[in-house]
Amino acid sequence: MTRINSAAVIVLVAFALRVAYDLVCYSLLGPAGLMGPDSAAFLLNAQYLSDGGSLMTVADNGKSGFALDLMPISLLLMAATLTPGQPADPIGYVLVQAGMDAVTCLLIGRLAEFLEPRLFVPAALLAAVNPTQIVVAGLVYTDTPFLFFCCLGLVLFLEWQRTGALAMAVLSGLAWGGALMTRQFIQYWLFLLPVLGMLAAASSRPSVRDLFRRACHLAVMGGLIIAFAAPIALRNMDQFGSPRLSAQSGSHFLFWVVPLVREFNDGTPRSDSKARGDMLFQTWQGEPPPVNPFDSSDRMMEIAKQELLDLGPGAVVAAWVKGAALNLVAPASTISPLVSSLPHDGFYATAGDGLGQKIWNFLVHNSGKTFVLILVVSGIGMPIWLGLGITGFVRAIRRPEFACVVLFLWVGFVLALNGPVVSPKYRLPLEPAWIAFAALGWNTVRHRVRVGL
């Protein structure tokens, strides 16, 4: 079978699996079968855009507008699937996501080829049947378009490093700009790109002219990314006096990171720490909360930093490690509406003296026995999945190609940014790199079995 035929079959298989999953969820649960905790807010903003609203008008103090902390690309895509003036139905958007994610499978196959030429088909097939991709693509979130742009950016960046072509630098800049305008989470990674690009160029002992040319390409790449971000940055500067893309960092740290570090450290329920954080925010230094959302974020971040300092670096590092471990093993079934709608006790609400006891209580003493049974069964394959990924990485690192370094750093970046916040959807961005390593690991194991036989 030719490469084009293989790619076509993989896209069709991936698309069919995602559409079938979407239709099952929709037929059994209606629109709720395609909705997660934040989906209603996304649909409201998409409906606002569909009805003619502007990205430049920010919702504030009850005024209609676009949410300050949302990036526009996914919401514009979502709005295109809605009918103006009619109740929002999510089915059109998730079917579009099914198509995007099917193409993403091919990009993942190409990523794996940078590690070893024969890995396109196995890696793309692994992506096609990847439960995390299937489940998240069936939810009204921004994660699936974000994954598409990240994979495209990684592939084009590695192509640029391999060929040195200006066209690859331009296309890479466009892809990373699309990723940034889907989720601003990526902005910290973008600061690493010029460092990685110049290190890769310098490693081949180039001439000064070649180094200068590569630096110019990276400047073009950065300029395109800045051009994508400029409208949102200028809007925020004009309306709030800050060029930052989002005012979400403070609330994320104060109401998620700090509570989860404390919970991993001493078992304090997140709800208690969240209430404490809100009380501190309202009364910090005897001043009323700021009106400006960026000033509010700064205050929250200041409080969060003090709380983390009080908890100590050991507790913070331990929470990050535990969160990373849980993110790697959490089955995708936990966020599927088919499963999450079943009666069960939430993980964060489960008491326990330490992470081990908390997990034990969640699995053994959970009131939702059916939920736990599905969770355990769907998690059986996770150790194999992790083992294949680790095997592939160990093999790749023995001959450290630039692609291996980039993919390894990408996994570390995603885990570091997520920290102690645990969900399969937060693991999704690292899965392309993990699938590439897992495909290499599978080839390694298969070769050893053949040699042994």
The verdict on 217 and 268 lying in the same domain is: no
Over the stretch 344-361, which tens digit does the pLDDT of each residue have?
777 766 776 666 677 777
For residue 429, tell me if it sits in a domain.
Answer: no
Q: Measured in whole angstroms, how far is the alpha carbon of residue 244 from the centre of its chain?
A: 20
The verdict on 210 and 234 lying in the same domain is: yes
pLDDT at residue number 64: 80
Q: Which two tokens stand for residue 158?
A: 């590695």
Integer angstrom CA distances of residue 357 from 89, 204, 261, 353 = 41, 51, 16, 6
Residue 453 has pLDDT above 60, yes or no: no
**Range with the lowest mean pLDDT among 19-23, 202-206, 260-264?**
202-206
For residue 15, tell me if it sits in a domain.
Answer: no
Give the residue, 385 or 95, on which the prediction is more confident. Answer: 95
The verdict on 272 and 198 lying in the same domain is: no
- The residue among 240, 272, 301 that closes a domain is 240
Cβ count within 10 A of residue 394: 13
The verdict on 199 and 164 lying in the same domain is: yes
The verdict on 220 and 277 lying in the same domain is: no
For residue 265, tell me if it sits in a domain.
Answer: yes
The verdict on 205 and 256 lying in the same domain is: no
Q: Which amino acid is at 235?
A: R
For residue 173, tell me if it sits in a domain.
Answer: yes
For residue 366, tell me if it sits in a domain.
Answer: no
The verdict on 260 and 293 lying in the same domain is: yes
What's the number of domains the chain is made of? 2
For residue 380, tell me if it sits in a domain.
Answer: no
The verdict on 215 and 281 lying in the same domain is: no
The verdict on 197 and 221 lying in the same domain is: yes
Confidence band for 451, pLDDT divided at 50, 70 and 90: low
Bridge partners of 66, per DSSP, are 58
The verdict on 266 and 291 lying in the same domain is: yes
- The residue among 210, 240, 270 that closes a domain is 240
For residue 306, tell me if it sits in a domain.
Answer: yes
Over the stretch 63-119, which tens digit does the pLDDT of each residue have?
788 999 999 999 999 999 999 988 889 999 999 999 999 999 999 999 999 998 889
For residue 158, tell me if it sits in a domain.
Answer: yes
Range of the domain at 279: 247-311
Residue 146 has pLDDT above 80, yes or no: yes
The verdict on 193 and 278 lying in the same domain is: no
Buried b (16+ CB within 10 A) or exposed e, 159-170: bbbeebeeebbb
The verdict on 166 and 236 lying in the same domain is: yes
d(CA 236, CA 245): 7
- The residue among 223, 240, 257 that closes a domain is 240
Bridge partners of 58, per DSSP, are 66
